[in-house]
Structure 1
Amino acid sequence: VSNNLRQEVVTFGCRLNIYESEIIRKNLELSGIDNVAIFNTCAVTKAAEKQARQAICKAKKNNPDLKIIVTGCSAQTSPQMYGNMPEVDKVIGNEEKLLPNYYQITDEKITVNDIMSVKETASHLVSSFDGKSRAFIQVQNGCDHFCTFCIIPYGRGKSRSVAIGAIAEQVKHLVLNGFKEVVFTGVDVTAYGSDLPGSPTFA
């Protein structure tokens, strides 16, 4: 994180987070909030969570006036862990991070909803990917397997798919913006379409 910044998004973890960080970046620009960093975290391993906490502490040490918002899967599954950090100003969940009205710093430090209640995957048009030559498109989110060893469903919720029409619109938008390679991404892409009318697949 730069010492002299206006806005920054710091991403940990998967391709889905990379895609969502571009939505956050666009929303942050529209919000008009200055001197803020949003940390989009990962919860797959304890090492990933430790890395995020260390980065947060370092950023605040380098810039004591920096406003820090924490989101992502680790914030969704362990909101109080970040809420207890004096360096953190706001903790928002995986649904809230895509909605810019939640970026405002208020007396309510933690805003994390029940991710299992989320039934839809909102479609967002993304035009660019910071410093990357390939683009990512979210086609699916969540997982219904609930494996004993895996925390992902608790961070991402149940499986839900993006409609084919919305995916096609995003691909066209990215091609028009100069991307030659587009990667479909999700938590469990093999589950794509099972929740949509007609159960479409990519096969």
Structure 2
Amino acid sequence: MERVAISTLGCKINQFESAAMTESLGREGYRLVPFDEDADIYVINTCTVTAKTDAESRRLIRRALRRNPAARVVVTGCYAQVAPEAVKDLPGVALVVGNSEKKSIVELLRDAAPTEKVVVSDISRERSAAGLRLESFAEHTRAFLQIQNGCDAFCSYCIVPYARGRSRSVPFAEALAGIRNFAAQGFREVVLTGIHLGAYGLDLEPPSSLLALLEAAEAERAVPRLRVGSVEPNELTDDLIDFMAGSAIVCPHLHIPLQSGDDAVLGRMGRRYTAAFFRERVGRIVAAIPDIFIGCDVIAGFPGETDEEFGNTVRLIEELPVASLHVFPYSRREGTAAARMAGQVDGKVIRARSEMLRELGERKGLAFRRRFVGRELAVLMQSRGRDGEAVGLSRNYLPVRLSGYGGDLNTELTVTVTEVTPDGVRGERRG
């Protein structure tokens, strides 16, 4: 049987979908090999959130063909969805597959000489989240579960609604069954993912919500640890915050997109909140869940961003108890409203502002990690390194290194933090 290699760029949704494609291909008898090995078919699951990720996709195509010039290169994902003709014309590309068509990857690969080189439908017409299904997960301790897809927000800078379509939710019973399924396989943690996770359930009949799903999982203790992905600030209601504060299974970790700390910039972005509202929500969250890990996205150099507006963003982040900062240098995406805006910021300025934000993020992360020296954390052991250290993940998203641990992985331990590391903390097992 043919050898297939898959490479994935971008978000956790793409990771989930690549895992599902891998599972489907394995069931059909394809031999799955690492991307840097010889393969008959290379599948590249792309991202298009920035021009940089488009370039990385093209680099992976060239890399695959260098490895095996006779291989079939199949390009799918968001870059393929929004620019199928451009991708089709790249040297060596055999097939371009849209996001909705990922569920048919087995049938598409079975056809060695397809009549159509581009199989990409109009995703804006997609109304169902049904598609790829995943019964198992390659990682042995944490599993990602997609419960929502698409986005209706259409922020002015964002290409994602054009790549992923309208917001649509996995049916409530199916989402809850997905959590149970992974728990039954022995996973200790399930990560709920979606493009616009806070919109989960709004399109269902009857309507539901992310909070309702979390409450149902909590009621039956469906899994020991349940982690929520990115949630918009205006969807972090008091009810959701209070539920998380009292939950025995939902991890104290939130990723909250900020994008800018200046109201004028937020308005041009089409974001539906102010800097003051964001500050208030984060304060409310930390008051209820003091040890929570809060990550934020921020865009540097949005069109028209002045030094003063950028300064407002820096000052807001400095005030907030942020543990991680994901910095996006603004990238002009054709087809978005921001691409047509006046006042496009010079690239050198964007790079300088991005670097300043990254340095700020590193300082904030270090300050957060230092808070836990001498304290105990519940850590899910995940892997062992060549240096003899075992590595795990705390409930509040800190990578924890543990020397001399020879016990089982996929076990939650109580660890006392002894020092910080460049990317997490190091600790000792209690007792």
**Residues 11 and 40 in structure 1, CA contact (< 8 A), matched pair in contact too:** yes
The CA distance in 2 between the partners of 1:139 and 1:56, in whole Å, is: 30
Bigger shift: 25-34 or 75-84? 25-34
Aligned residue among 40, 56, 62 for 1:57: 62
Q: Which residue of 1 aligns with 2:52?
A: 47
The residue correspondences of 1:29-48 to structure 2 (distance < 5 A) are 29-32=26-29, 35-48=40-53
The CA distance in 1 between the partners of 2:61 and 2:139, in whole Å, is: 22
Unpaired segments ≥5 residues, structure 2: 32-39, 212-431
Does 1:101 find its partner at 2:107? yes
Does 1:111 find its partner at 2:110? no
Q: Secondary structure at the match of 2:210?
A: coil
Aligned residue among 72, 76, 85 for 2:90: 85
Unpaired segments ≥5 residues, structure 1: none
Does 1:148 find its partner at 2:145? no
- C-alpha displacement of 1:130: 3.0
Q: Secondary structure at the match of 1:143?
A: coil
Cα-to-partner distance string for 1:20-59 (whole Å, 9 max, x where unaligned):
1111112222445672111100010110110111011011
Q: Which residue of 2 aligns with 1:170?
A: 178
- C-alpha displacement of 1:177: 1.6
Does 1:158 find its partner at 2:166? yes
- C-alpha displacement of 1:149: 0.8
The CA distance in 2 between the partners of 1:31 and 1:146, in whole Å, is: 38
The CA distance in 2 between the partners of 1:123 and 1:65, in whole Å, is: 31
**Residues 135 and 183 in structure 1, CA contact (< 8 A), matched pair in contact too:** yes
The CA distance in 2 between the partners of 1:123 and 1:86, in whole Å, is: 30
Q: What TM-score, normalized by structure 2, do the two folds share? A: 0.44
- Select the structure with the greater relative contact order (CA < 8 A; seq sep ≥ 6): 1
Larger Rg: 2
The CA distance in 2 between the partners of 1:123 and 1:82, in whole Å, is: 23
Cα-to-partner distance string for 1:154-180 (whole Å, 9 max, x where unaligned):
000000001111112211211122211
Q: What TM-score, normalized by structure 1, do the two folds share? A: 0.91
The CA distance in 1 between the partners of 2:176 and 2:133, in whole Å, is: 11
Q: Which residue of 1 aligns with 2:18?
A: 21
Aligned residue among 76, 80, 88 for 1:75: 80
Q: Secondary structure at the match of 1:9?
A: strand
- C-alpha displacement of 1:65: 1.8
The residue correspondences of 1:119-198 to structure 2 (distance < 5 A) are 119-122=127-130, 124-131=132-139, 133-198=141-206
Q: Which has the higher strand share?
A: 2
Query: Aligned letter for 1:102?
Result: L
The aligned length equals 199
Q: Which residue of 1 aligns with 2:413?
A: none
